[in-house]
Structures are given as C-alpha cells and as structure tokens.
Amino acid sequence: MPVAKRMVELTQNASWIRKMFEEGLRLAAIHGAENVFDLSIGNPNVDPPEAFQEALQEAAADCRPGVHGYMPNAGYKEAREAVAEYLTRDQGVPVSGDNVVMTVGAGGALNVIFRTVMDPGDEAIVSKPYFVEYANYLDNHLAKLTPVASKPDFDLDLDAISAAINPATRVMLVNSPNNPTGRIYPLETLRALGELLERKSREIGRIIYLVSDEPYRRIVFDGNRVPPVFAAYPSTLIATSYSKELSLAGERIGYVAANPAAPGIETIMPGLILANRVLGYINAPALMQRVITRLQGVEVDVALYQRNRDLLYETLTGAGYDVFKPQGAFYMFPRSPIPDDMAFAKELLEQLVLVTPGSGFGTPGYFRIAFCVESRVVEAALPIFRQLGEKYFGGASA
Amino acid sequence: MPVAKRMVELTQNASWIRKMFEEGLRLAAIHGAENVFDLSIGNPNVDPPEAFQEALQEAAADCRPGVHGYMPNAGYKEAREAVAEYLTRDQGVPVSGDNVVMTVGAGGALNVIFRTVMDPGDEAIVSKPYFVEYANYLDNHLAKLTPVASKPDFDLDLDAISAAINPATRVMLVNSPNNPTGRIYPLETLRALGELLERKSREIGRIIYLVSDEPYRRIVFDGNRVPPVFAAYPSTLIATSYSKELSLAGERIGYVAANPAAPGIETIMPGLILANRVLGYINAPALMQRVITRLQGVEVDVALYQRNRDLLYETLTGAGYDVFKPQGAFYMFPRSPIPDDMAFAKELLEQLVLVTPGSGFGTPGYFRIAFCVESRVVEAALPIFRQLGEKYFGGASA
C-alpha cells in the first residue's frame, strides 16, 4: 500500500465541506463562476477591513534585519501582549502575554492544545452538530471524539454531556457562535457547564479541559455578545483565529490562550509552546503576527452577513423550512425537507446551489448554508430554496 | 497531571538548539546583543534577496477579493506550477504542479509526509548526526527514528543502513546539504542507496520511501551542486522550504514534491493534500505562496556564508580542531576538544559564544557552529575558539 493504513481510512471519510468546495470550483470552470451559487464553505469573501490593508502595507515595507526570521516558538512578545490586552478586556480577567501562543490559525491552535493535554485513547466530548474536522484533529493524536445530542434549540444539553463523561474524558469542546447552527451559548449554560466539569474532574481524578473554539466570536447579530469562557471555568483554553473576523482564512494566523487561573498553568504553557514547535508549525507566520498586533478588536463589516442571514431566514421560514435563527457566525442549519440530506444537497447541486449535508456535521437530516458571500449569490439561491420548499412542503409558505 | 504523559516525556527532551536560542536572547538582554556571539541556530540573518522585497510589496498591494482567503489545500495552482517548473529543471525529470503540495515550511512538509505514509510503529532510518527534531516529528505520528552511523567523512554508510532495515522500516530520511555537517551526498551514494531501497522494499514487501529534507539545497560552496534525488529512486518525496535560501524562516513557506515515477502516486498525492488539511495547517500561508511563485531559483547571496565558513575552517583547523569542511548549508560540526560536548559548549557559553552540543544531533563528542550570521559575529568568536584550541590541543596550531 503506498499510503499508511490510517491514511486510507481517513481518505474514505474525506470532508463533505471540502468536497463541495472542490465541486464548486469544478462547476465554476464549466458554467462560469457567476452562475454557481456556492454556499458550502466558510471562506469569507467580504474584504478584510481597511485597517488590515494599511497594517499589511506597513509590515511588508519593514526591511529591518530578521523581520522574516524565526522568533521564539510562542510568537513575538508584542503580538502576544496585544492579544492579552484584548483578552483582558474581552474576558474580564487579567490575561498576560505569557498566557498566549500565536498559532497557524485555529486548526493549528486546536492541534497544539490536543497534543499538549491529550494522550492516545483520551476522549473529547462535543455537542452535535459539530465541525467534522474536530474528529480528524483528535485522530492525529490518537484521541477520540464523542459527540452528544444538543437541545432542540441547539443549546448544550448538560445531561447528555454529564452522561458521556467517563475516566477517559479529557476535553469538553465548545464552539460558540456555533458552526453550523449560529448558536451562541448563554453565560448561564457556560457557568453550569463549568460547575459540571469541576465536579466531574474531581470524580474522575483528572482535569477535564474546556476547549473553546471561537473564530466567530466577533461575528454576531442583533447586538448579541459571546459570553467569556474564562469567567465560567478555570481550566479553559481558547483556540481561535483571525480567519473569519478579518477575512484572512488563507493566511493561517490565530492563537491559543490559556486561562491564567488554570491549575498547572506553569506546565501547560511550556507544553503548548513545545507542541507548536514539534507539530512542525514552529511559529505562526511572522508577517501576519506583526499585522494582527495592530488589529486587536478590529473586524470586518458584519452588516453584509446580517443582511444575508435576514434574507435567507425570511425566505426559508416563509417557504416552510424549520430553521434556527443564527445569532452569530455566518452559517444556518435548516432541517432538510426530506430525511436524506445528501439527496437534498444533490437536488440543490443540480440547480448549481452548493450547500453541505448535515451528515458532514454528524447530524443527518439537516443541511448547512454558509452565507459569507456576496448578497447577489444569496439572492440568486433564494428562488431555488423557495421552489424546493414549494415542492416538499406543498405551499406551506405565507 | 495538567499535561499529557506524552508531553511530559517530550518536555524532558526539549531541543538543545531551542534552549540555546532562548539562552542567547537572555544573555543578549543582560550583556547587550552586540556582545553575545550566537552561533547556535539556523536563523539566517542575511537579508532576503532584493527580488523578495519587490515580490512582497506587490503581493501586499494586491487587493483583489479573496486573495487572503482559503484556496485548495494543496495551494495555489500558480505556486504549484512554478515549483514544478523549477523542479523539472533541477531534478532533470518532468514534474507537474499536481506533484507538489505547498506547506507550512519544511517542518510542515515532513509532518505531512509522515502522516501520509507512516502508521504507528513504523520506523524511519536516518544517518548520524541528524537534526534532532526528526524524532519529534515522527513521534507525532507514533513512528520511530532509527539513527545509524555514518562514514568518517559523514557520507551515508550503506552497510549500516542495510543492517538497520527491517519489516517496520518505512522511510529512509536524508538531509543534504546536511545539518549539522554541511555534507552533500554524492550522486553515486544516492544511486547506491536507491538500489538498496529498491531491493529491500521487495524483500520486506512494502515500499520504503526515500524522504529528502533539503532546505539547504541552494546554499552550496565552491561550485558544488546537490545531486537530484528524483534521479536516484522512484519512491522519493522531497520536503523543503524557502526558510534558508530566501531567509524567510519565520514565514513558514515550503513544499512537498513527490517523484511522478513513484508507484502509487495517484494515492500518494491525495494523501499528502489531506494530511496537510487534517494536521491543521489547512494550507501554506496565502501571501507567501504568491511571493515565492515569482522567486523560483532565486536565493540569498551565499558569498557571506562562504566567507564565514572559510574564516572558521581556517581558524579551527589551524588551532588543532578536527572538522569536516562544509560543502553546503551554513553549519560546521567540529569534534569537541574534550569528550564531554556539553561541558565544552558551556565553556564557550561562559565567554558568550553560543554553539550547540553534538548530543543535540544524536552525536556526542562534537559541537555545531551555525555560521548564518554577520561576519563580525564569527570574527569575534574566532579568538575564543583559538584560545580553547590552545588550551586543549596545546599549541598544535600552525
């Protein structure tokens, strides 16, 4: 066999999201990009904010010796301190630069965390639906994902989480605002989760980490705010990136931040830094570290996303679809009109509308719409959603 | 325990190179950077070539929508094709963009390769001395490094390699020009290695890959040329980066290239691309992909490195040190005047000269000098090497 056995298995489960992304590129080449309505991937096509362009020009013009060379594996001191200052404001607890490690995006951040705290055989619990890549990231470290049910409104189901915790549980993974539902977990849910993890950690005699994957934190609607996880539980690690809030997904810049109150923080931080190195990331890209140092608290204009959300939500509910109204992020997770979500996605695909089947999020019977696209793409897709609603719900629309 | 058991073990083996790097920063803060002579890390302080600055400015000024967004996990088509064109010239066999995956540096490239072809328990053979991080990269995938002796002139010892091959052997890892010796493996050695791997693969009934880590390929002295590995063996994978040849170590840009003649190439490539995604790299940084697309075959001015090498080589041999004359890269690996290489490195450290003990390369009794620094740093260290030579070799100098 030319590739590893593990790789063969992995290939067979290749991501639906990426499949759709590649399918979109293929269809665009045939029908012209303007005739394909790709709502399948969280690749923001909103331009980065103007402040980014300025910061980038200046960073690129910087010719001081060594500016493109190695720096300590944790990242530039200035970048770490800028992030810490932002987190101190945002999380409401004092965070120092020593509690931050700059990473190759959130994908890098999560792998760094898993490598640091998880041994082979350890488990991470996640609430369904979930970003399917989590299972692959855990599998890198021979750890396992344990998906549990969420409540009907996609809030965390603490009873389900409690029932799933066992001596192998090492991580509770939350993602808020959630991909694919757009759900924000309220502070009282996080606090109750914190109490549960506190109690269960004592029971099993090992710390269960709360890992908060929050790249959509600054993409919120209707004046919503994402509650701070550091306030809810001491053993919390944040993984995030600037991919979504600054539209920089291809540049691979993000960070891990550890709650300074976490027991064992003095061994956690060297672990994270070492993991960043040995996993081959070495450090987050130098130039982008310098860029984001100056862009703390800056974000893209979310008005476009909110407009897309409103258009889609009104049309879909009007056409009879059952859908949770996203509070943040740029995804919507309607129930599929037919139980077979893959068949429904295929039906949309025939009309050149690309979505991702719920099966790609461990939750068949739904589909995900990514609305981080120009409004014209959303608008072009609306009649097709309406028409299929008509077909399956038989004129349930207003 | 706050961190994983695996992480505790890893921390205990933390890299000598990085320890020295951090120690250098600490000493620089105390004594002033100009009074510390840091010859411990391969962080080129030679400026990137002028063509890089131009390409970077232009890439940074590019405001087209989506230029900082995701692209296919393998990288931009243009970047892959530019690399393939270069490889076609350099390796003497036709390489297509489809055989290239852009990566987060060579560290990313090696991890992508190991994740793709190695299962837990598999082994990679490497010739001593070797870059110690290889063991950590393999350990990420629960694979194992098997170091074997090299010849006295640091060329590959094919008998030692042959004796080490067993049914678990999956990779033969070579690094030419070599870190830390500066050795280039001649074509006849690579050809003989290819024949050996061909025969042994048949014997054990599984392909043994030749993995060539070659970030120093374009840093060569005295008109040397690094022979093409693709010509030597079909199942060859190249891992490399622009870190050294363009002085961009912090920017994390490199690639994997697979020999188009490799059996099973049609499953190897999707495996590499998928590994790049699931390991959390997702893709090589977008901006730097666009930059290096325009810089194929460009490199820093190696005259400075050659001057440093000559200064060091003359002084060290003159002072009685036993040292192989580097043919490429920017490292030198003299025998330590006393058997205890750590004690010798400490002795240098007391005089503010930082080197890396040979133990950091699996080869005690030697030490590594990294001469990718300004000549004034090398010049300042010369009297100290001379003085310690005097002390231990008692005036063996000319």
- Whether A333 and A202 share a structural domain: no
- Whether B320 and B237 share a structural domain: no
For residue A279, report the phi and psi dihedrals to the nearest 5 degrees: -70, 0
Q: Give the tens place of pLDDT for each residue, B271-297.
A: 999 999 999 999 999 999 999 999 999
- Domain that includes residue A137, residue range: 50-293
Contact A248, A242 (CB under 8 A): yes
Domain-located, residue A376: yes
Closest by Cβ to B4, choosing from A1, A116, A279? A116
Q: How confident is the model at residue A13 (pLDDT cuts 50, 70, 90)?
A: low
Contact A243, B276 (CB under 8 A): no
Structural domain count, chain B: 2
Q: A94: cis peptide before it, omega within 30°? A: no
Domain-located, residue A398: no
Q: Give the tens place of pLDDT for each residue, B26-65.
A: 888 899 888 899 998 888 878 899 999 999 999 999 999 8
| Mean pLDDT, all residues of chain B | 94
Both structure tokens of B236:
């060859």
Q: Does B24 score more than 90 pLDDT?
A: no
Domain-located, residue A245: yes
Note whether B288 contacts A: Cβ–Cβ < 8 A: yes
Residues 260-279 of B with CB under 8 A from A: 262-265, 267-268, 270-271, 274-275, 277-279
Strand B236-241 and strand B254-258: the pairing is antiparallel
Q: Does A394 score more than 90 pLDDT?
A: no
- Whether B125 and B142 share a structural domain: yes
> Where do the H-state alpha helices sit in chain B?
5-12, 16-31, 50-61, 77-91, 105-117, 133-140, 158-164, 187-204, 265-278, 286-293, 303-318, 341-350, 375-393
- Whether A368 and A311 share a structural domain: yes
- Whether B346 and B207 share a structural domain: no
Closest CA to B2 of A138, A209, A200, A211: A209
Mutate which: A118, A287, A293, A304, vs B, most B CBs within 10 A: A287
Q: How confident is the model at residue B398 (pLDDT cuts 50, 70, 90)?
A: very low
Strand, coil or helix: B84: helix
Report the pLDDT averaged over residues B99-112. Answer: 98
**A64 or B16, which is more confident:** A64
Q: How confident is the model at residue A23 (pLDDT cuts 50, 70, 90)?
A: confident
Contact B174, B233 (CB under 8 A): no
Report the pLDDT averaged over residues B132-154. Answer: 96
Closest by Cβ to A274, choosing from B1, B14, B286? B14
Q: What is the rounded CA–CA span in Å between residue A83 and residue B316?
A: 46
Helix (H) or strand (E) holding B237: strand B236-241
Residues of chain B with C-beta less than 8 angstroms from the C-beta of A16: none
Note whether A6 contacts B: Cβ–Cβ < 8 A: yes
Contact A45 B247 (CB under 8 A): no
pTM score above 0.90 = yes
Domain-located, residue A374: yes
Domain-located, residue B398: no
Note whether B256 contacts A: Cβ–Cβ < 8 A: no
- Whether A127 and A269 share a structural domain: yes
Q: Give the tens place of pLDDT for each residue, A43-76.
A: 887 889 999 999 999 999 999 989 999 999 999 9
- Whether A70 and A219 share a structural domain: yes
Between the CA of residue B148 and those of A47, B164, B300, what are the distances in Å? Answer: 53, 7, 33
- Whether A94 and A230 share a structural domain: yes
State the CATH number of the domain containing residue A177.
3.40.640.10
Report the pLDDT averaged over residues B125-151. Answer: 96
State the CATH number of the domain containing residue A304.
3.90.1150.10
- Whether A38 and A57 share a structural domain: no
Please state whether B142 falls in left (phi above 0), alpha (psi between -120 and 50) or beta: left
For residue B75, which amino acid is it? G
Q: How far is B145 from chain A (nearest CA, A)?
A: 14
Domain-located, residue A123: yes
- Whether A200 and A341 share a structural domain: no
Q: Does A397 score more than 50 pLDDT?
A: no
Q: Does B144 score more than 60 pLDDT?
A: yes
Closest by Cβ to B250, choosing from A6, A70, A280? A70
Domain-located, residue B178: yes
- Whether B153 and B269 share a structural domain: yes
State whether ipTM is beyond 0.90.
yes
Domain boundary among A276, A293, A310: A293
Domain boundary among A266, A293, A320: A293
- Whether B70 and B216 share a structural domain: yes
Domain-located, residue A190: yes
Predicted local distance difference test score (pLDDT) of residue B299: 87
Domain boundary among B276, B293, B310: B293
